[in-house]
Structure 1
Amino acid sequence: MTLIRELSRRGFLNMGAAAGLGLMLPKTGLIRPAFAAAPLPPVAEEAAMIAWGYVGPTADEGWTWAHDQGRLAVEKAFPKLKTSFVESVPYSADASRIYRQFVADGANMVFANSNYGDFLYDVAKRAPEVAFYECDGRLAMENLGTYYVQHWYPSYVTGVAAGLMSKTGKLGYVASFPVPSVYSGTNAFLMGARSVNPAATVQAIVINSWFDPQAAAQAGTALLDNGCDVLFGIMDEAAYLQVAEQRGAKAVMWNTDIRRYGPSAYISSIMVDFGPWYVEQVRRRLAGEWTPSEDILPMAKGVDRDAWGESVPPEVAAQADAAREKILSGWSPFTGEIKDSNGAIKVAAGQTMTERELYEWNWSIEGVSGLDA
């Protein structure tokens, strides 16, 4: 394994990339092939090199750490191949240089664990013999697929718990950027809370970073000062959980189980597990079966809630898990009527949002403040 370090912080996601092919996503999981292209030829395991470009540090105990666990799962499943990774790939021309270096080093497959847009696409176009995947990507190509997780479902489930546990009905959200993953997370969380407390609201504060403990702690403090008593967010570290612990509030986290930083505050976390998916894609590449796909991993098979925290009452856990079981049985909570933050009807009564719409969600529902301009 080789390690190259890049010290730049994660850049802003390129949400202006072309939309690519339509994502017709069943709640059961994988989407469909992106192109009816011929598979890339097989590669002997001992001759293979698989590379990862990471948006953050592997020690973040968050998003990048979770992806790196998937890389380690690949090494365990295929001990004869080599893996390589670069941490904290910047959102700049340096990203293209890093991905070009992977190709020059002989990579047969390259994963980007965030959206790098043209900085990745230009490299993929010039290396048709290499398989590429872009996490949270918006454009599929003949040798580039996309992957992500249906995090909006466990966000809804934890929202049910938050709505039951909140005394003020005011929920706070520490947001990275106003991007679809944040809109879908805040909206789903509030819809879960409103299923048990119709008066609940969510106030978001955007800190323009995925990993900034100081800014996240300041945002969490401000939200609690404003009357919120349950915090949620999409950070790659535990700062706002620590604030909630110190202030006697509650919190729902993202990526991994970090309850040790706030055991009394911890409700749950949106947990991601890319290991089985990474292993399967590498297997397909080695076997000569790989063609690009657009995959979104479903709840219970790539994303889920964590085990409930010690302060979550059994009756709260049971009610939230009842919603989880309904979703796993095929029910969608994202059925209209749904209004946006200005009161306009965006989803008509009886209409259910498609997975594509959930993936691309770029507006706040009624009751969420702080994201829309």
Structure 2
Amino acid sequence: MNVTGPRGRLLASRRAMLGLAGMAAGSSLLPGRPARAGTPRGPITQKDALVAFGHTGPITDGGWSMVHNRGVQAVRQAFPGIRTVYVESVPYSADATRIFRQFVAEGANMVFATSEYGDFIKDVSDRAPDVAFMECDGNSLTPNLGWYYVSHWYASYILGIAAALLSKTGRIGFLGAFPIPSVYASANATLLGARSVNPAITLQGITINAWFDPQAATQAATALVDNGCDFLCGIMDEPAYLRVAVARGVWAAMWNTGMLQFGPESYVSSVVLDFNAFYVAQVRALLEGTWQPSAAFLTLGHGVDRDAWGPGVPEAIARQADDMRARMLAGYNPFRGPIYDNHGRLRVPAGVTLDDSQIYHCDWAVAGVSGLG
């Protein structure tokens, strides 16, 4: 199956930020916090199982969809008798509903949407109660629909520490697709990490209305460097702004996967994602008849982490950033108040720590971030 279409995210903001209650960093919901019990599903043999994936972009994008497709390959390797199908570049329109319905019509026992499709997938799952559905970056928990995401803000915080130590201008440039919670979470975490080292450092963001647009990313990165940013980071599915960093002699940290090969002289590290173990665990539960819908965060060291440090990063800087990583892996959560937004409003009082769910639903920028709202 092959369906093409533009990549984008649903632009509606997530639900308002949840109540302020602390939870330790790195708390993992794998294999997931179950929703109310769904329709009992018995064990399925591999030869009778069909697992379908709907990808938001092409699997050759070098980023998000490529990483998810690695998960498809991991499922095939773990369960060689299973059947899998996938559709690339599923559009954010009624066509998505038709694609998910087609998966069901073809006999899929489990359907993964590798990005947020909201009502486009929920309408289908509501009408197919015997099929297991999981939506990446979603919000719905029903008897047969769950969601999963990566708590990438911890890795971004670590890279922010490195940014503050490497930057000479005290200005970080950030590229995002849209002003949505996942972008806010990444930018906020990067700056909070940087300000733990240099309280005066700032972050200027630019959104380009696409996750994969090398030309627009190049133009935005060039504008950021022209404005004095000497460290670039963001959430893009390709390495365009790393190439700008090389051409302009500044630093860059990437997203989705390691991209050292595209600019080793400017490469700092990357937020790297790995859905392989999660997909294998979900499919195993399906085959064993134990699957239940869940809300799952893949946490630092378990689905998301930083890449190896680039060759130009001084050892002392890498060590200082990794000291925080070690603390996080031991349970420390740096997202604690007081935290103000970029309009001066106190958002997180002193003594309060944000948990993953609260960060995940954040739709505001912290003090020192500009250009994102």
TM over 0.5: yes
What is the aligned partner in structure 2 of residue 116 from structure 1?
A: 117
What is the aligned partner in structure 2 of residue 29 from structure 1?
A: 28
Q: Residue 286 in 1 paired to residue 287 in 2?
A: yes
What is the aligned partner in structure 2 of residue 5 from structure 1?
A: 2
Q: Deviations over 1:102-155 (max 9, x none)?
A: 111111100000000111111101111110000000111110010001100000
3-state DSSP of counterpart to 1:59: coil
CA distance in 2 between counterparts of 1:321 and 1:115 reads 32
| Structure 2: gaps of 5 or more residues | none
CA distance in 1 between counterparts of 2:93 and 2:348 reads 37
**Cα distance, 1:248 vs structure 2:** 0.5
**Cα distance, 1:331 vs structure 2:** 1.1
3-state DSSP of counterpart to 1:167: coil
Alignment of 1:58-137 (within 5 A): 58-137=59-138
The AA in structure 1 aligned to 2:126 is K
Q: Deviations over 1:149-177 (max 9, x none)?
A: 11000000011001100010100001110
CA distance in 2 between counterparts of 1:140 and 1:25 reads 21
- 1:176 touches 1:210 (CA, 8 Å); kept in 2? yes
CA distance in 2 between counterparts of 1:36 and 1:12 reads 30
What is the aligned partner in structure 2 of residue 231 from structure 1?
A: 232
What is the aligned partner in structure 2 of residue 169 from structure 1?
A: 170
**Cα distance, 1:15 vs structure 2:** 3.6
Deviates further, 130-139 or 30-39:
30-39
Q: TM-score, normalised by structure 1?
A: 0.96
Gap change, CA 1:237 and 1:368, over 3 Å in 2: same
Gap change, CA 1:336 and 1:141, over 3 Å in 2: same
CA distance in 1 between counterparts of 2:22 and 2:343 reads 29
CA distance in 2 between counterparts of 1:89 and 1:17 reads 21
What is the aligned partner in structure 2 of residue 336 from structure 1?
A: 337
**Cα distance, 1:39 vs structure 2:** 3.6
| Structure 1: gaps of 5 or more residues | none
Deviates further, 297-306 or 24-33:
24-33
The AA in structure 1 aligned to 2:220 is A
- 1:54 touches 1:64 (CA, 8 Å); kept in 2? yes
The AA in structure 1 aligned to 2:27 is T
Q: TM-score, normalised by structure 2?
A: 0.96
Q: How many residues matched?
A: 368
Q: Which runs of 4+ in 1 moved over 4 A?
A: 16-19, 21-26
CA distance in 2 between counterparts of 1:354 and 1:79 reads 38
- 1:270 touches 1:304 (CA, 8 Å); kept in 2? yes
- 2:23 touches 2:354 (CA, 8 Å); kept in 1? no
**Cα distance, 1:10 vs structure 2:** 1.1
- 1:52 touches 1:113 (CA, 8 Å); kept in 2? yes
**Bigger relative contact order (CA 8 A; separation at least 6):** 2
The AA in structure 1 aligned to 2:215 is Q
3-state DSSP of counterpart to 1:157: helix
3-state DSSP of counterpart to 2:168: coil
CA distance in 2 between counterparts of 1:311 and 1:40 reads 53
